[in-house]
Amino acid sequence: MKRVITAAVLAVFSVSLCVFSRRLTVRETDYIIQSMETIDSALTSGDAEEALHVSETFRSDWESIHDRLCTVLQHDHLDALESAFPVLSHYIRAGESVLASAECKRVITMTEHIERTERVTPENIL
């Protein structure tokens, strides 16, 4: 009987941990996507100053986002994202709005991929 109770407690703990990590991942990835969409729309409307401001604000927020996501995601996912942010600011400063917009779309695509692969599924729980 003790083994059954222990197994049930461990199962509840495991599922709870998966749900917590999913909620954290969704919250942070939604913020990343929202920031990239804001930068892209500012670039599309020709407001490079606003795009640069949002980009710099996001880069300052990235450290705390990275720290939280490191606890639940593989570092390979985050390294790919992290390499895009300095390039993005550089493109905006250089007036390369097409390249900056493409970089925003690339980050959005990578972030959506992270959301899809980190869903709570039996494979991820086990």
Residue-wise pLDDT tens digits, 59-94: 989 989 998 888 888 888 788 888 888 899 899 999
**Mean per-residue pLDDT, 29-42:** 95
pLDDT score, position 126: 62
The reply to whether 98 falls in a domain is: yes
Alpha-helical (H) ranges within the chain are 2-44, 48-70, 75-82, 84-93, 97-117, 122-125
Read off the pLDDT band of 108 (50, 70, 90).
very high
Q: Is the CB of residue 125 less than 8 Å from the CB of residue 15?
A: yes
Q: Is the CB of residue 96 less than 8 Å from the CB of residue 103?
A: no
Query: Across the chain, what does the average pLDDT equal?
Result: 88
86, two tokens: 């300095």
pLDDT score, position 110: 92
The reply to whether 20 falls in a domain is: no
The reply to whether 13 falls in a domain is: no
The reply to whether 11 falls in a domain is: no
CATH number of the structural domain spanning residue 68 = 1.20.120
Q: For the CA atoms of 29, 34, 40, 45, what is the dihedral angle to 10 degrees?
A: 180
- Sign for the CA dihedral angle at 52, 66, 82, 102 comes to negative
The reply to whether 94 falls in a domain is: yes
The reply to whether 72 falls in a domain is: yes
Print the domain residue range for 59: 25-119
- As a whole number of Å, the CA-based R_g of the chain is 18
In whole angstroms, what is the distance from residue 86 CA to residue 100 CA? Answer: 11
